[in-house]
Structure formats: structure tokens, C-alpha cells
A and B are shown apart, each in its own frame.
Chain A
Amino acid sequence: AQKITQTQPGMFVQEKEAVTLDCTYDTSDQSYGLFWYKQPSSGEMIFLIYQGSYDEQNATEGRYSLNFQKARKSANLVISASQLGDSAMYFCAMREGLKGNQFYFGTGTSLTVIP
């Protein structure tokens, strides 16, 4: 089974609107971390936001928030007030265990912000 599933290969959003990028995960560990990264066309991977499995509140970082639903094993990224510069690939990732090193990445979602 896939550890991380991103079911939206491509998404479009109107500038200034909010958009939700889906991510579901699969793990039997009690302790894990969930991450979102942005990859613009230039290629660099930019860390956006983190959610720990024991965090009771949804993580927020500026215009980014994470809709964490533990029972459903989902960790959707919400981008509010979309900007043209948000157009990029977005990857969801998971790290298992207290000291686990390996990250599991999803297949990514290509977001295009329409002016």
C-alpha cells in the first residue's frame, strides 16, 4: 500500500480564492510527522508546514494551514488567498516513528493559480 496518496494530479484555483490539496497517509505507528513541500518550476523543495501526530490543533503557517483528520488519516493542505506565485507542485510527506529518518513522499499535485 502507498504510504502517502495524493489523488489530485492537477488543480486550478482563481487568484485570491482558497484551495485544498488532498493527502491521505497509511501508517501503523502512533508517532509520525506530516509535512508539505512546495516545488516551483525552478526545482527547489520548499518546506511549508508540519503536523505531528500528537498535535491536537491544526498547524498554521501564514496562508498555509493543515486540515488534520487523524481518524481518517488525512492531512490536507489549505492555501488561503491564492497568489500567482503559489503555482507549483506540492508534495505531501510523512516520517514515521520517533527517530525515523526515511520520508515517504506522495506523487504530488500541480497547482495553477489563474489570474
Chain B
Amino acid sequence: GAVVSQHPSRVICKSGTSVKIECRSLDFQATTMFWYRQFPKQSLMLMATSNEGSKATYEQGVEKDKFLINHASLTLSTLTVTSAHPEDSSFYICSAIRGAGDSNQPQHFGDGTRLSIL
């Protein structure tokens, strides 16, 4: 069964709306979670690394004030797309790593969120 839950799976909203996406690790504690963005027929693009109890580490070119990440507990990270515009429409997917971060542990992914801004 799924070990990472992502909600909602699909969002359609008007331009200017802020959208919150939740990512939960269901049966393990995740000190680190990742947020990706994926354009059609392309690979995953890492947006930021979410660290429990500290600020997220953003990749170059990702606006921190636009994509707010909060990792308030060991099982929950949230991504808020603030004042979303049509260009923010995309597929967003989160992941978490089980354990202390050994190199043999895979990232477990949520099912993703399809965000459409009208």
C-alpha cells in the first residue's frame, strides 16, 4: 500500500488563489521530504528539500515567497502556492525517505497533485 499520501490529487482554481498541498508519510517518520514539479513529458524537477523543524532548501530559480514549504512534523510537509497564476499550472509531486537517509533507501512518492489555474 501507499506509504506517502498526497492531497489533493487535483485542484482547479482561479488566478490569484493560494493553494495548499499536503504530503504525509503514513507509516514512517521522514525528517526530509522533497517537492518536485513536472511538466508534461519531462522529468522531475526538484523544487526544494523540506527539513523537519527548519527552513526548506530551495533549488536555484525557485521563488521562496511563491512556493512556501512547511515541515512542521516528522510526517507532514506542506507546499503552498501563493497567489497562483496560470504559469504555475503543473503536476506537483512530493516524496519522502524512510530511515536515516542511507543511500540504499528509495524515495517514496505521493500520487501527485495536478494544479490548474484558470
- Interface residues of chain A, those whose CB is within 8 Å of chain B, are 31-33, 35, 37, 42-47, 50, 52, 91, 93, 95-103, 105-108, 110
Contact = CB atoms under 8 A, between A and B. Distances in A.
22 contacts: A31-B103, A35-B107, A43-B91, A43-B112, A44-B111, A45-B93, A45-B95, A45-B112, A50-B104, A52-B103, A91-B43, A96-B103, A99-B101, A100-B101, A100-B103, A101-B97, A102-B49, A105-B44, A106-B43, A107-B42, A108-B42, A108-B43
A52 B105 CA distance: 10
Contacts of B114: 43
Given A43-B114, A100-B101, 17 more contacts: A32-B103, A35-B106, A44-B109, A45-B44, A45-B95, A45-B107, A45-B112, A47-B106, A91-B43, A95-B103, A98-B102, A99-B100, A101-B32, A101-B101, A102-B46, A103-B107, A106-B43
Contacts of A35: 106-107
Contacts of B32: 101
B23 to A, nearest CB: 13
Contacts, number: 64
B108 interface: yes
A101 B46 CA distance: 12
A4 B91 CA distance: 22
Interface of B: 32, 34, 41-44, 46, 49, 91, 93, 95, 97, 100-112, 114
B1 to A, nearest CB: 12
B103 A107 contact: no
Contacts of A102: 46, 49
Nearest to B31: A101
A99 B103 contact: yes
A115 to B, nearest CB: 23
Given A43-B91, A43-B93, A101 B111 contact: no
Contacts of B46: 102-103
B112 A47 contact: no
Nearest to A106: B43
A50 B114 CA distance: 28
Contact of A52 (B49, B104, B109, B112): B104
